[in-house]
């Protein structure tokens, strides 16, 4: 032995170029929180590589942030606290390439003359925009003003807007009137987004939205979930469905771990969109 300290196993390979400078703990934890605001979840290994520190250092940071209630720890990483999600306006600027790929894959599942219920959200708005470009002769039922606006650009698509109480933060109609209105329709497919999915089920940060999504799902012959991979293994406030309730998941990366096993047991079909 030559007495030299062992190299940190989690440090990135520096042969291809210089490593990013290391931050002090306060700056590092601020970067972690910023990452969590932009994304639903973060992995220990990814954070260690990005911040040029060991995985043990990241785990200590996550423990401290968790003790302060700023994040929720998960196996292998962390997620935002329950009910903490950017507004739909902010979300429109995140994961754009992934959402566009998900939208392109989703519209291939739709046939002319179908009745489609679409929930509110950034990903579902991408689906509606692609639907306006690629589909025809559909009836769309939605409670989302952004979905109604983009899909109505196609004159062959009829749009039925749900009544209810307006939620300005999410640009959607919610409430008892919305749920009761949906009971008047039979739907071929419901296309719905999520704030998170765990083995407990599919959930949303907005309880009022969760109520509408459940109503749409219950009226549909098939429920398609459109979600980027950052929603996997992420708990959120209001559970509106269990995994066996859905039939199809369209995403940008295959699920892993317990969520993947639960989807497999429920025989949920999974389409991986190519970004």
pLDDT grade for 18, boundaries at 50, 70 and 90 = low
Residue 62 has pLDDT above 60, yes or no: yes
Is the model more confident about 40 or about 155?
Answer: 155
Q: Kindly report the average pLDDT of the chain as a whole number.
A: 88
Check residue 95 and give its pLDDT.
75
- How distant, in Å, are the alpha carbons of 45, 149, 267 from that of 160? 46, 11, 32
24-61 residues labelled b (16+ CB within 10 A) or e (exposed): eeeebbeebbebbebbbbbebeebbbebbbebebbbeb
Give CA–CA dist 221/270, Å, rounded. 17
Q: Is the pLDDT of residue 93 over 80?
A: no
User: Average pLDDT of 181-208?
Assistant: 96
Class of domain 1-81: mainly alpha
Per domain, the residue ranges of the chain are 1-81, 88-272
- Tell me the mean pLDDT in the region 203-217: 95
The CATH number of 88-272 is: 3.40.50.1360
pLDDT score, position 94: 64
Cα 107 from Cα 273, distance rounded (Å): 11
Task: Please give the pLDDT value at position 148.
Answer: 98
Residue-wise pLDDT for 127-179, tens only, equals 999 999 999 999 999 999 999 999 999 999 999 999 999 999 899 999 999 99
Task: Read off the pLDDT band of 36 (50, 70, 90).
Answer: confident
CB 264 within 8 A of CB 91: no
Q: Which residue has the higher pLDDT, 271 or 91?
A: 271
What percent of the chain is predicted at pLDDT more than 90?
67
State the average pLDDT over residues 50-76.
Answer: 87
Q: Which residue has the higher pLDDT, 46 or 82?
A: 46
């Amino acid at each position: 032995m030559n007495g030299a300290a062992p190299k940190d196993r989690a440090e990135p390979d520096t042969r291809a170029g210089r490593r990013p400078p290391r931050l002090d703990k306060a700056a590092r934890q601020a970067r972690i929180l910023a990452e969590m605001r932009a994304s639903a979840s973060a992995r220990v290994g990814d954070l260690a590589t990005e911040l040029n520190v060991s995985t043990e250092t990241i785990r200590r940071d996550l423990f401290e942030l968790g003790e302060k209630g700023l994040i929720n720890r998960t196996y292998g990483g962390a997620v935002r606290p329950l009910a903490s999600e950017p507004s739909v306006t902010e979300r429109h600027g995140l994961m754009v390439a992934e959402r566009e790929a998900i939208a392109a894959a989703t519209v291939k599942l739709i046939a002319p003359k179908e009745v489609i219920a679409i929930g509110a959200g950034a990903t579902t708005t991408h689906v509606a925009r692609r639907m306006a470009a690629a589909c025809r002769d559909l009836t769309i039922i939605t409670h989302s003003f952004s979905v109604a606006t983009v899909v109505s650009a196609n004159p062959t698509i009829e749009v039925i807007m749900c009544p209810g109480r307006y939620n300005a933060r999410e640009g959607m109609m919610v409430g008892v009137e919305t749920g009761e209105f949906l009971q008047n329709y039979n739907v071929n497919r419901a296309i719905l987004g999520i704030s998170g999915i765990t083995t407990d089920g599919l959930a949303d940060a907005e309880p009022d939205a969760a109520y509408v999504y459940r109503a749409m799902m219950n009226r549909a012959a098939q429920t398609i979930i459109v979600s980027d991979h950052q929603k996997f293994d992420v708990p959120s406030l209001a559970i509106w469905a269990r995994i066996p309730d859905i039939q199809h998941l369209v995403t940008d990366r295959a699920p892993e771990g317990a969520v993947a096993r639960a989807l497999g047991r429920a025989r949920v079909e999974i389409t991986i969109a190519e970004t």
